Protein backbone atom coordinates (compact mmCIF):
# COMPACT_ATOMS: atom_id res chain seq x y z
CA UNK A 1 0.00 0.00 0.00
CA UNK A 2 1.11 3.55 -0.78
CA UNK A 3 0.57 6.33 1.78
CA UNK A 4 1.80 9.90 1.79
CA UNK A 5 2.08 13.15 3.69
CA UNK A 6 4.30 14.48 6.49
CA UNK A 7 1.84 13.79 9.31
CA UNK A 8 1.32 10.20 8.16
CA UNK A 9 5.08 9.73 8.01
CA UNK A 10 5.49 11.21 11.50
CA UNK A 11 3.35 8.37 12.84
CA UNK A 12 4.89 5.71 10.63
CA UNK A 13 8.44 6.45 11.73
CA UNK A 14 7.51 5.18 15.20
CA UNK A 15 7.10 1.73 13.66
CA UNK A 16 9.81 1.37 10.99
CA UNK A 17 8.97 -2.32 10.52
CA UNK A 18 5.71 -1.24 8.88
CA UNK A 19 7.60 0.69 6.16
CA UNK A 20 8.87 -1.18 3.12
CA UNK A 21 10.34 1.82 1.27
CA UNK A 22 10.36 5.61 1.47
CA UNK A 23 10.28 7.89 -1.57
CA UNK A 24 11.42 11.43 -0.81
CA UNK A 25 11.39 14.53 -2.97
CA UNK A 26 14.70 15.65 -4.40
CA UNK A 27 15.41 19.07 -2.94
CA UNK A 28 12.96 18.73 -0.04
CA UNK A 29 13.85 21.55 2.36
CA UNK A 30 12.57 19.93 5.56
CA UNK A 31 15.83 18.81 7.10
CA UNK A 32 14.08 17.06 10.00
CA UNK A 33 12.53 14.59 7.56
CA UNK A 34 15.85 14.00 5.80
CA UNK A 35 17.55 13.32 9.13
CA UNK A 36 14.75 11.01 10.25
CA UNK A 37 14.68 9.03 6.99
CA UNK A 38 18.43 8.46 7.10
CA UNK A 39 18.26 7.28 10.71
CA UNK A 40 15.44 4.76 10.19
CA UNK A 41 17.53 2.16 8.39
CA UNK A 42 14.72 1.70 5.84
CA UNK A 43 15.32 1.66 2.06
CA UNK A 44 14.66 5.05 0.52
CA UNK A 45 14.83 6.65 -2.91
CA UNK A 46 15.18 10.29 -3.89
CA UNK A 47 12.62 11.14 -6.58
CA UNK A 48 11.28 13.96 -8.73
CA UNK A 49 7.92 15.53 -7.99
CA UNK A 50 6.50 13.86 -11.09
CA UNK A 51 7.50 10.43 -9.78
CA UNK A 52 5.91 11.15 -6.38
CA UNK A 53 2.75 12.44 -8.07
CA UNK A 54 2.52 9.20 -10.03
CA UNK A 55 3.25 6.97 -7.03
CA UNK A 56 0.70 8.67 -4.79
CA UNK A 57 -1.81 9.44 -7.54
CA UNK A 58 -2.07 12.77 -5.79
CA UNK A 59 -0.19 16.09 -5.78
CA UNK A 60 -0.59 16.76 -2.05
CA UNK A 61 2.03 14.27 -0.87
CA UNK A 62 4.16 17.06 0.66
CA UNK A 63 7.33 15.51 -0.73
CA UNK A 64 7.20 12.15 1.03
CA UNK A 65 5.57 8.88 -0.02
CA UNK A 66 5.87 5.52 1.73
CA UNK A 67 5.22 1.99 0.61
CA UNK A 68 3.90 0.23 3.71
CA UNK A 69 2.61 -3.12 4.83
CA UNK A 70 -1.15 -3.46 5.05
CA UNK A 71 -2.64 -1.45 7.90
CA UNK A 72 -3.67 -3.82 10.69
CA UNK A 73 -7.36 -4.11 11.51
CA UNK A 74 -8.94 -5.77 14.52
CA UNK A 75 -12.02 -7.73 15.47
CA UNK A 76 -14.80 -5.89 17.26
CA UNK A 77 -14.18 -8.23 20.18
CA UNK A 78 -10.62 -6.90 20.42
CA UNK A 79 -11.86 -3.30 20.42
CA UNK A 80 -14.24 -4.11 23.26
CA UNK A 81 -11.60 -6.01 25.24
CA UNK A 82 -9.13 -3.12 25.02
CA UNK A 83 -11.66 -0.32 25.58
CA UNK A 84 -11.20 2.03 28.51
CA UNK A 85 -14.26 2.05 30.79
CA UNK A 86 -17.00 2.92 30.21
CA UNK A 87 -16.13 2.37 26.52
CA UNK A 88 -16.68 4.49 23.41
CA UNK A 89 -16.78 3.26 19.82
CA UNK A 90 -17.71 5.05 16.59
CA UNK A 91 -19.50 3.15 13.81
CA UNK A 92 -19.59 4.58 10.28
CA UNK A 93 -22.65 3.38 8.39
CA UNK A 94 -22.10 3.96 4.70
CA UNK A 95 -19.72 6.92 4.79
CA UNK A 96 -18.59 7.36 1.18
CA UNK A 97 -16.04 10.17 1.29
CA UNK A 98 -12.55 8.98 2.30
CA UNK A 99 -11.77 12.50 3.57
CA UNK A 100 -14.66 12.15 6.03
CA UNK A 101 -13.33 8.78 7.17
CA UNK A 102 -9.89 10.29 7.71
CA UNK A 103 -11.20 13.37 9.49
CA UNK A 104 -13.35 11.23 11.79
CA UNK A 105 -10.38 9.02 12.65
CA UNK A 106 -8.36 12.13 13.47
CA UNK A 107 -11.08 13.40 15.83
CA UNK A 108 -11.45 9.94 17.37
CA UNK A 109 -7.77 9.99 18.28
CA UNK A 110 -8.09 13.44 19.86
CA UNK A 111 -11.26 12.55 21.79
CA UNK A 112 -9.94 9.25 23.13
CA UNK A 113 -12.28 6.92 21.23
CA UNK A 114 -11.51 3.22 21.74
CA UNK A 115 -12.05 2.17 18.14
CA UNK A 116 -13.83 2.78 14.85
CA UNK A 117 -16.04 0.28 13.01
CA UNK A 118 -16.25 0.52 9.22
CA UNK A 119 -18.48 -1.31 6.74
CA UNK A 120 -16.67 -3.55 4.27
CA UNK A 121 -19.11 -2.84 1.44
CA UNK A 122 -20.56 0.38 0.00
CA UNK A 123 -18.32 2.54 2.16
CA UNK A 124 -15.00 4.33 1.95
CA UNK A 125 -12.24 2.22 3.47
CA UNK A 126 -8.68 2.85 4.58
CA UNK A 127 -7.60 4.33 1.26
CA UNK A 128 -4.51 6.51 0.82
CA UNK A 129 -6.78 9.58 0.77
CA UNK A 130 -8.40 8.55 4.07
CA UNK A 131 -5.01 7.85 5.60
CA UNK A 132 -3.71 11.28 4.51
CA UNK A 133 -6.82 13.02 5.90
CA UNK A 134 -6.41 11.17 9.20
CA UNK A 135 -2.97 12.82 9.63
CA UNK A 136 -1.69 9.48 10.89
CA UNK A 137 -4.61 8.60 13.20
CA UNK A 138 -5.19 5.43 11.20
CA UNK A 139 -2.09 4.15 13.00
CA UNK A 140 -3.27 5.23 16.46
CA UNK A 141 -7.00 4.40 16.48
CA UNK A 142 -7.88 0.67 16.19
CA UNK A 143 -10.18 -0.03 13.25
CA UNK A 144 -12.51 -2.98 12.69
CA UNK A 145 -14.02 -3.69 9.27
CA UNK A 146 -17.27 -5.66 9.36
CA UNK A 147 -19.51 -7.16 6.70
CA UNK A 148 -22.77 -6.69 8.61
CA UNK A 149 -23.12 -3.50 10.65
CA UNK A 150 -26.60 -4.46 11.84
CA UNK A 151 -25.43 -7.72 13.40
CA UNK A 152 -22.34 -6.05 14.83
CA UNK A 153 -24.41 -3.43 16.65
CA UNK A 154 -26.85 -6.08 17.85
CA UNK A 155 -23.94 -8.02 19.35
CA UNK A 156 -22.56 -4.88 21.02
CA UNK A 157 -25.98 -4.18 22.56
CA UNK A 158 -25.95 -7.66 24.03
CA UNK A 159 -22.58 -6.80 25.59
CA UNK A 160 -24.00 -3.75 27.33
CA UNK A 161 -23.31 -0.98 24.81
CA UNK A 162 -25.90 1.70 24.13
CA UNK A 163 -26.25 2.45 20.42
CA UNK A 164 -26.68 6.16 19.75
CA UNK A 165 -27.69 7.17 16.24
CA UNK A 166 -27.65 10.57 14.57
CA UNK A 167 -30.80 11.81 12.84
CA UNK A 168 -32.99 14.87 12.40
CA UNK A 169 -36.28 13.05 13.07
CA UNK A 170 -37.56 11.67 16.39
CA UNK A 171 -34.28 12.62 18.05
CA UNK A 172 -33.37 14.28 21.33
CA UNK A 173 -31.00 17.23 21.60
CA UNK A 174 -27.45 15.88 21.62
CA UNK A 175 -26.84 17.48 25.02
CA UNK A 176 -29.53 15.22 26.49
CA UNK A 177 -27.70 12.03 25.61
CA UNK A 178 -26.76 9.49 28.29
CA UNK A 179 -23.05 9.09 27.70
CA UNK A 180 -21.85 7.71 31.03
CA UNK A 181 -22.52 4.16 29.79
CA UNK A 182 -20.69 2.05 27.19
CA UNK A 183 -21.58 3.86 23.96
CA UNK A 184 -21.45 3.31 20.22
CA UNK A 185 -21.94 6.52 18.25
CA UNK A 186 -23.30 5.75 14.76
CA UNK A 187 -22.62 8.25 11.96
CA UNK A 188 -24.63 7.71 8.78
CA UNK A 189 -24.12 8.26 5.08
CA UNK A 190 -23.43 11.85 3.99
CA UNK A 191 -26.68 12.09 2.02
CA UNK A 192 -29.03 9.34 3.22
CA UNK A 193 -28.06 9.16 6.87
CA UNK A 194 -28.21 5.93 8.84
CA UNK A 195 -29.73 3.01 6.94
CA UNK A 196 -33.19 1.86 8.11
CA UNK A 197 -31.96 -1.56 9.27
CA UNK A 198 -29.19 0.00 11.36
CA UNK A 199 -31.64 2.54 12.82
CA UNK A 200 -33.56 -0.36 14.34
CA UNK A 201 -30.53 -1.20 16.48
CA UNK A 202 -30.25 2.33 17.86
CA UNK A 203 -31.46 2.81 21.43
CA UNK A 204 -32.12 6.47 20.71
CA UNK A 205 -31.25 9.23 18.26
CA UNK A 206 -29.56 12.56 18.87
CA UNK A 207 -29.61 15.68 16.75
CA UNK A 208 -27.65 18.92 16.57
CA UNK A 209 -29.79 22.09 16.64
CA UNK A 210 -29.60 24.17 13.46
CA UNK A 211 -29.98 27.89 14.11
CA UNK A 212 -29.07 29.11 10.63
CA UNK A 213 -30.30 28.65 7.08
CA UNK A 214 -28.24 25.52 6.39
CA UNK A 215 -29.95 22.48 7.88
CA UNK A 216 -27.15 19.95 7.97
CA UNK A 217 -23.48 19.56 8.87
CA UNK A 218 -20.67 17.66 7.23
CA UNK A 219 -20.53 14.12 8.70
CA UNK A 220 -17.06 14.56 10.15
CA UNK A 221 -17.92 17.94 11.69
CA UNK A 222 -21.08 16.53 13.30
CA UNK A 223 -19.11 13.56 14.61
CA UNK A 224 -16.53 15.90 16.13
CA UNK A 225 -19.15 17.95 17.97
CA UNK A 226 -20.83 14.83 19.34
CA UNK A 227 -17.58 13.23 20.45
CA UNK A 228 -16.58 16.32 22.38
CA UNK A 229 -20.00 16.49 24.02
CA UNK A 230 -19.40 12.92 25.19
CA UNK A 231 -15.89 13.89 26.31
CA UNK A 232 -17.26 16.91 28.17
CA UNK A 233 -19.90 14.90 30.01
CA UNK A 234 -17.43 12.16 30.94
CA UNK A 235 -14.67 14.59 31.93
CA UNK A 236 -16.33 17.62 33.53
CA UNK A 237 -14.14 20.51 34.62
Average per-residue pLDDT in the chain? 95
Q: 23-45 as b/e, with b when 16 or more CB fall inside 10 Å?
A: bbbeebeeeebeeebeeeebebe
Q: Are 123 and 92 in contact (CB under 8 A)?
A: yes
If you average pLDDT over residues 180-187, what whole number do you get? 98
* Confidence band of 81 (pLDDT split at 50, 70, 90): very high
What pLDDT sits at residue 60? 87
Is residue 153 over pLDDT 90? yes
If you average pLDDT over residues 89-95, what whole number do you get? 97
Percent of the chain with pLDDT over 70: 100
What pLDDT sits at residue 216? 84
Separation between Cα atoms, residue 75 and residue 91, nearest integer Å: 13
Is residue 146 over pLDDT 90? yes
If you average pLDDT over residues 110-139, what whole number do you get? 93
* Confidence band of 169 (pLDDT split at 50, 70, 90): confident
If you average pLDDT over residues 5-19, what whole number do you get? 91
Q: Catalogue the E-assigned strands of 96-230.
A: 115-119, 143-146, 162-166, 172-173, 183-188, 204-207
Is residue 23 over pLDDT 90? yes
Is residue 209 over pLDDT 90? yes
Write out the DSSP string of 14-45.
T-GGGEEEEEEETT---HHHHHHHHHTT--EE
Query: Over the stretch 34-50, which tens digit does the pLDDT of each residue have?
Result: 999 999 999 999 999 99
If you average pLDDT over residues 214-222, what whole number do you get? 91
Number of helices (H), then strands (E), in the chain: 9, 11
Separation between Cα atoms, residue 78 and residue 81, nearest integer Å: 5
* Confidence band of 54 (pLDDT split at 50, 70, 90): very high
Amino acid sequence: MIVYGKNVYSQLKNDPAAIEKIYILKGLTDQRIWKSVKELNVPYEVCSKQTLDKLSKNETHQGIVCKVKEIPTYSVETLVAKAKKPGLLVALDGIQDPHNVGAILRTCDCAGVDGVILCKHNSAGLTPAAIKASTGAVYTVPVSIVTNMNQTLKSLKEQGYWIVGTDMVNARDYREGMYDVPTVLVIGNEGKGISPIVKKQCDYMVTLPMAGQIQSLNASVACGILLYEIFSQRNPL
